[in-house]
Homo-oligomer: A and B are copies of this chain.
């Protein structure tokens, strides 16, 4: 039986692993998934892909058609799906894995460097203080989905950091930025009025993590909102109410080094 590789490509072209490259070389066809994140390919990888059958996977291919094309290709040989970041962060990839096993195929996951927990640690925050992460989405038809407010509040009560993954759908060209995220949080505050996300509250804006243009800015939410950050993808961390002194020192260092919009 052929084998399905789910390969994480990491956060930037040169953050791909040697194992990912070897796995990619070994397969007959390659699917590229680019809707759950930004997929950036290294020159080595582009060179390898030249000799392969390469197709793009849409959300519809995976979610509505159940990966039919992938399973068709598996009949003819090994297949790889290239996924930005770490491949198991999105549930849509786990569905494909479960289905592949049910059909008797071998599956191998090649892990990749992901925004979680690296947005946290690269900013200088402690992994032991990472609370439950949550995704922040745009208001839909005028309705604000305020679950992230509850997650921040709950993480606050335990002095934990909240990593907010910002809505991203490359297919629909939806890429939330930190300033929009802060706005949405302020809208929640206006409704809930529990003092969880005041303008003076501190957070870390992270953009293009792992790339040469990486941005890490530690500041109040009202100041983060004003920063002209265009690099994508972006993530916002709401820091825990009390910081450890080592976290404060590292945040200062990282801010000095990587907060380019303030320079």
Chain A interface residues toward B at CB < 8 A: 10-12, 14-19, 21-22, 42, 44, 86, 88-89, 91, 94-95, 97-98, 101, 107, 109, 111-114, 116-118, 121-122, 124, 126-135, 154, 158, 160, 210, 246, 249-250, 253, 256-257
Contacts and interface: CB of A to CB of B under 8 A. Distances in A.
Contacts of A116: 117, 127, 130
Contact of A101 (B98, B114, B253): B253
Contacts of A88: 121-122, 124, 127
Contacts of A132: 128-131, 158, 160
A89 B127 contact: yes
A10 B17 contact: yes
B97 A253 contact: yes
A135 B128 CA distance: 9
Contacts of A22: 14
Contacts of A128: 132-135
A18 B11 contact: no
24 contacts: A12-B19, A14-B18, A15-B18, A15-B111, A16-B18, A17-B18, A18-B42, A18-B44, A88-B121, A88-B124, A88-B127, A89-B127, A94-B124, A94-B250, A111-B113, A111-B121, A111-B210, A113-B113, A114-B117, A117-B117, A128-B134, A129-B132, A130-B132, A131-B132
Count identical subunits in the complex.
2
A123 B52 CA distance: 30
Contacts of A112: 113
A98 B253 contact: yes
A246 B133 contact: no
A130 B133 contact: yes
A94, A129, A256 — which one has the most chain B CB atoms within 10 A of its CB?
A: A94
A44 to B, nearest CB: 7
Contacts of A12: 19
